[in-house]
Amino acid sequence: MAKVAFVFPGQGSQAVGMGKDLYEQFPEARAVFDAVDDALHEKLSTSCFEGPEEALKLTANTQPAILTVSAAVHAVFQKRGPAPAFVAGHSLGEYSALVAAGAMDLQDAARAVRARGTFMQEAVPVGTGGMAVILGLTPDAVKAACDAAAEGQVVSPANYNSPEQTVIAGHAAAVERAGAKCKEAGAKRVMPLPVSAPFHCALMDPVKPRLAEVLAGVRIHAPSVPVVSNVEARPNADASRVVPLLLEQVSAPVRWIECVESLKANGVTHVVELGPGKVLGGLIKRITKDIESFNVENAATLEKVLAALGAA
């Protein structure tokens, strides 16, 4: 018997045109886009469908845009596909997962991630921080390189994405030093990321009190299915822990390897990535061979995945 989890992508999966065909074909997707447009008092849907790409890349726009597309895909899929036993999201995607689990209202989540994106953008002056992807080095070796490269500045693992891929974040100069040490330690590649802020590191600490004020005004419900949190990498169904975990998540690393291992340990056999892109499915394949992953981002992938899961 297949045991399914839904996972939701984070920043970096955005693309102009995302969600457009679902909006045009499915009333439940249209309702999601319209609700977010109302909540934000702007046509975010137009930015998703038509761009421009530069506007969509701004963190304050990217975060609510990806959340909206993910929620729209979920709204369409949940009427037609199997129900999940668990949900999880990568960074920003944790908000999408909470919406899917009924722990957070869609409009509240859209306003919260718009604020989160804005606060993250404002926490560090442009050019001060940086992020880089380290390929072909163990997470422990990356952590050791960061510790050796810090020299009084901030640099640390931000995303433990797969056994072969770790993202680091911090002060730009420290990230560069850590990248060089990773190469010395045998990393295959070190790629600087074109991001507007160094996410998931101590430089994001100023975001927490500001985000806490926003989340204090959001009504949180007990999740209908457990949400595997980025911070603890284990399922949570306690409403009182949702906000503390989201606040800690701002400056803590995303423990994606352990999140996937937690799903596997809880008997999950199939994962459906709901939202733009298929980044998470690719990472899951590198973490475990025991979970089959699918992605749904448009009408074509919807039909394909429903057929495959029907067979499973």
The vertex-13 CA angle with 10 and 17, nearest 5°, equals 130
User: How far apart, in whole angstroms, are the C-alpha atoms of residue 309 and residue 78?
Assistant: 13
Question: Active-site residue 91, yes or no?
Answer: yes
For 153, list phi and psi in degrees, rounded to 5.
-100, 175
User: How far apart, in whole angstroms, are the C-alpha atoms of residue 112 and residue 131?
Assistant: 24
Take residue 125 and report the two structure tokens written for it: 């002056």
Among the options 13, 45, 47, 91, which is catalytic? Answer: 91
User: How far apart, in whole angstroms, are the C-alpha atoms of residue 249 and residue 7?
Assistant: 17
Among the options 200, 229, 251, 270, which is catalytic? Answer: 200
User: How far apart, in whole angstroms, are the C-alpha atoms of residue 178 and residue 182?
Assistant: 6
Identity of the amino acid at 88: A
For 169, list phi and psi in degrees, rounded to 5.
-145, 155
Identify the CA nearest to 184 among candidates 154, 150, 144, 151.
Answer: 144
User: How far apart, in whole angstroms, are the C-alpha atoms of residue 271 and residue 150?
Assistant: 37
Question: Active-site residue 200, yes or no?
Answer: yes
Residue 151, sorted as left (phi over 0), alpha (psi -120 to 50) or beta, turns out to be left
**Which uninterrupted H or E stretch holds 120?**
helix 106-123
List strands edge to edge, sheet with 235-236: 235-236, 227-228, 86-89, 4-8, 270-274, 292-296
Strands 270-274 and 292-296 turn out to be parallel
For helices 106-123 and 93-100, angle between their N-to-C axes, nearest 10 degrees: 170
The catalytic residues are: 91, 200
